Each structure stands twice: as structure tokens, then as C-alpha cells.
Amino acid sequence: MKIPAHTLYVVLCYAWKRYEHLESAAEREHASAPDDLPQNLLARLLRDSFRRLWRRGLDRGYLERGEDARRPKGKIDMAGTVGRALRSRARVAVHYEELTRNVLPNRLVKSTMLRLASLPVNALDDELRRDLMRLARLLPEVAEVELRREFFQGVQLHRNNSDYGFLLSVCRLVAARLVLGGRSGRYWFRTFTASDTEMGHLFEAFVRGFLQREYRALGVHPGHKEISWGADVPHGAPGVPKMQADIFVPARSALNRRRSVIVETKCVDHLFGRGGKLRSDHLYQLWAYLTNYSRANAADRAPAGLLLYATNGLSFRHVYSFPGHPLEVRSIDLGQPWPGLRRDLRDLADDLARVTGAIASAA
């Protein structure tokens, strides 16, 4: 699946809830170019986000350091001083805290810039490569670090470093796409495909973010909607996991045949099964959500289901009438330019508003 750079930029902004980057078309034009490579787009976002952060001031923190000093400072390590006979050399072992920019967020950012700049010649724009190298050289005191998932998860964002949110999201996505190539020791950038797990997560978060931002009256659930199996678990038996629906749009009223809608997003290589039939695994999954939600929420009219597929150049919409639950299967074409994609999303929002009884008006 190939997503135009302009569209990918908007997908990332909605998925990561960085709506401030959507205020002007000029910024979207600046962030990407038609027929661009995805790694060039991510490099631009990394470069421009870091430049903004540099102007505001990078995060700093206190890190403990130890050294053998001629003059005491900080906390004296008597055991180290005596054990290594430092007094005979007129030195003393000390531990002290130093305010430095060599903290984990900056390490991850610098390492991502250097890793991205090391891509082969034809895999990254030359100007972007030079820009990333220059920015990395602004951080001589910041050490490099492996771009591991647990390091990204270990970053604690708070009021003083909240500006790192978007930047680290870009770094995390870049790190997930970089692959070390065998004996060459060089990194390569994996293109986005429909079978990628992160592409499915991005598509889900993008649709949810768009509906929450542009159609607040829909009241879209902020995250996954947990649906219980309602099972009685015997003592000592393994627990039963909760089901998590991707997107939940609640009914605004039980009157006039209004229904809640459970949306399951899919980003896969094979949209349909054998003979062009609906994929049974997708249908069974959504049907489990619908039936168990109805059982646990008797006051809510039987919900409608929607299987929403990400496509590239393919558009379809099919409506089915199952016993108790209307079900729709439709597509969102991510391969089209942003104006067309926005139109399709607005049509989707209008249809959701008609089913749930919400007011279909953009924010």
C-alpha cells in the first residue's frame, strides 16, 4: 500500500493527536512533497520538530557522575578513596549530580537522526541527510543509544518536556521501519505495507482522531471500547480477556431507531476471502462484539456494525441486514490525495450521525 506523502502527513497528525500541525495547508506543503519517499517525509518532520524544540530549549536533567578529583565536591566516596589509595595521589573519589542535556529523550532523538542519515544514497534526500547530520552535531555531549522499544516506553513526558511528544512519535516510527542489512552493516528503510501491524494501528488511530477532532458531536469513545464476555471464571482457572472494539460511536437516543455503532478497522493485504466473500475471521470478530455488547447493555438498542477497510485506489460500500444487527462493509481509500480522503471521511461521519442520532456538523 502506497500512501501519498501529503496524505501520510495528515494521517500521522490525526493519529498522534497533534492537531496544531494541521492549522495551515502551507505547513502540510512544507512537510512533504508529491510522490516523495516516506522516509523523506519522516526526516522533514524530525528535522523541523527538532528545530522548533531547539529554539524553545532542550530538556535537561540531573545525572549522577563519579570521578577522582583533586578538590572535594558533591559526595565523597570514602570506600573508593581508601580502597584505591587515592590519597597517595592527592585525589579523592566523589559522586555528584550534573545538569546536562544527555538525557534519554535527547539520546533517542540524536540516535534517530544519525541512523536515518546513514541510509543508502538513493534512500534519502541529500539535503535532508546533511540537515540531520548538522543537527546531530549540535549535541556533542549527548550519547547515542540503541533505538529499542523499551527505551521509548521509558520516556516520561510531563509539563516541562511535553513538546517532545510529537518528535518522539516520529522517532519511534522511524525506529520501527529501520532494518539492519545483513553483512553490510547498513540500515534500510522498510516501506509501509498493509500487513504491517503499525500501519493497522495508524489507520485505526487516524479514523478515530479525525472523528473526534472534526465531529465532536458524535461522542466517539476516546480509546478502545471494552466489551466483556460475561463469563463466570472458576477459581484457579485462567482469566478471560476483555474484547476491545477499535471505535465506538454511542447512540444519542434510544428513540427513532437510533443505534450505537461498533467500528472495526482493518488494514490488510487481502480484503476478501475465497470467492470474493467477506473474510470470516473479520466477520466473526465483529459479530462477537455486537452480540456480547447487546447482552451486557440491554438498555442500548442492538448496535450496528461497520467493517472499515483501508484501501489503495479501491472504493466500495456494502450494506447487509443480519438478524438484530445492521452491518456495513466499506472502504477508505488512503491512496488518494487529502481532499478526496477528507470528503470520504466526512461522508462516513454523516452516515454515523444518521445511525446514532448525532448532529452531523464538523467542529
Taking only the tens place, the pLDDT of each residue in 131-179 is 999 999 999 999 999 999 899 998 888 888 888 988 999 999 999 989 8
Q: Could you give the CA distance from residue 170 to residue 16 in angstroms, rounded to a whole number? A: 10
pLDDT band at 260 (very low <50, low <70, confident <90, very high): very high
Span 200-244, pLDDT tens digits: 999 999 999 999 999 999 999 999 999 988 888 888 899 888 899
Do the Cβ atoms of 221 and 250 come closer than 8 Å?
yes
Q: Name the nearest CA neighbour of 278 among 328, 326, 314.
A: 328
**Could you tell me where the beta strands, DSSP code E, fall in 168-277?**
178-181, 186-189, 225-227, 243-245, 247-249, 261-266
Q: Which of 43, 217, 193, 205 is nearest to 133 (CA)?
A: 43
How many angstroms separate the CA atoms of 36 and 32, rounded?
Answer: 7
Q: Of all residues in the chain, what percent carry a pLDDT higher than 70?
A: 82
Q: What is the pLDDT of residue 360?
A: 61
Cα angle 190-192-197, degrees, rounded to a multiple of 5: 100
> Rounded CA gap, 197 and 199, in Å?
5
Round to whole Å and give the CA distance between 206 and 81.
58
pLDDT of 156 reads 86
pLDDT for position 108:
96
**What pLDDT does residue 339 have?**
87
User: Which residues lie below 8 Å from residue 322, measured CB to CB, with a gap of 6+?
Assistant: 287
The answer to whether residues 12 and 177 touch, using CB atoms and an 8 Å cutoff, is no
Q: Return all residues near 306 (Cβ < 8 A) that are at least 6 apart.
A: 261, 262, 263, 264, 327, 328, 329, 330
Q: Where is mean pLDDT largest: 14-18, 158-162, 180-184, 216-220? A: 216-220
pLDDT band at 81 (very low <50, low <70, confident <90, very high): low
| Residue (of 349, 327, 357, 52) closest to 209 by Cα position | 349
More confident: 300 or 133: 133
Model's pTM, two decimal places? 0.82
Contact criterion met (CB below 8 Å) for 135 and 115: no
Residue 125 main-chain phi, psi, to 5 deg:
-60, 135
